[in-house]
Structure 1
Amino acid sequence: MTDMSSIPSPPSPWPTSPDAAAAAPTQPNALVDFQPVPRRGRHDGWTVARQRIFIAALADSGSVTHAAAQAGKSTVSAYQLRLARNAESFAAAWQAALDQGVRRLEDIAMERAIHGVEVPVYSYGKLVGTQRVYNDRLLMFLLRCRAPDRFTPLSPAHASHKALTPDPNSGPGSPAAIAAVERVRQEIRRRRALAGN
């Protein structure tokens, strides 16, 4: 199994501190245009800047734990904020950020499926090189997800192959096959009996 941390992530366009959030240029993005949850003015609470950092980090990583850490808050308090009164816009931005994070993970998975990953090769405890490893199961999974009409067994594209797929009720151990064998055996016995007379 390959370590996910070995894949370099592109630099994030999102700020990583409350001060950077205030200085960041406004982007015309649904993730940035959400209405922050109104909170009392605590310097260590869920300020507007921290909420924006959280949503930005969530969109970048797809991880609530990572996003909360980026905002300097706990995961539990992030979930509590999402359930707070007047948090509908924040909750919608949260979902949009998760969707964007999942798309990013899909892109990473596709990259790995196509180009493989470099894994270290050791001999007698010493690193002697690397080799590129491809994951065919990951490739098939992505093909089935991205083109289900062509790569899932129940798709119309596979209907033409259905005739080639044996019916489990007509296999060698099925009742119909056993009955057919018994009919042949009886016919052989009948012919032997006729030949013996």
Structure 2
Amino acid sequence: MKHWPAPPPRTAPLVRRRIPMFHPVPVAPRRDGWTVQRQAWFIGVLAETRSVVETCRRVGMGRESAYRLRKRPGAAGFAAAWDAALGRPHIAVDPSSAKATGLPAAYRFHAGLVQVHMHAGKLVAIARKPDNSALLQHLAQLGRAAGDMADPCAKSHDSNPGYAFHEGEDRADGAAPGAASPCPAPRKVRQSPHPPAPSEGDRR
């Protein structure tokens, strides 16, 4: 009886995983802490090893420290990239949304986005990209703040059409009378429903 050799085991097809871009988690600046480079390295190595313990050993951080980083405020994007690296289903995080990321526009602009590039299941590159959407949002917020500082009474003036403002009246904010105020209390200007009578000069 002939014995044929067993066929070689079939290798599982390589599944290409795309790791979403994310903003680094805000942490205190420490050389031995979770720097931006170490956060990106953690995600890339995690996609290679599929093991949190092995990844922490390679990047030189503790396992409990990694899970604490994942739970910090503003870590929604980092957590989504973590799950994507492990091949888990995750909720997509819109990096242009302050509500989704938990990060203000100013931080997202200054920190930028982190992109982990994988090829054939191996980490090949880590890139930092500017967040132009956050820049536009931040500039719009600065513009609104500058407008409010330039004319602090504009809002009260606009909300009281038909009023005239006179110095020396009581403060609109309830302060003591006579105190200096950029926004004095409004006084209603009554307008007569009848047209004014013509003067002697107009009659001639």
Aligning the two structures, in what range does the TM-score lie when normalised by the shorter sequence?
0.3 to 0.5
Greater Rg over alpha carbons, structure? 2
TM-score (norm 1): 0.35
Which has more helix, going by share of residues?
A: 1
TM-score (norm 2): 0.34
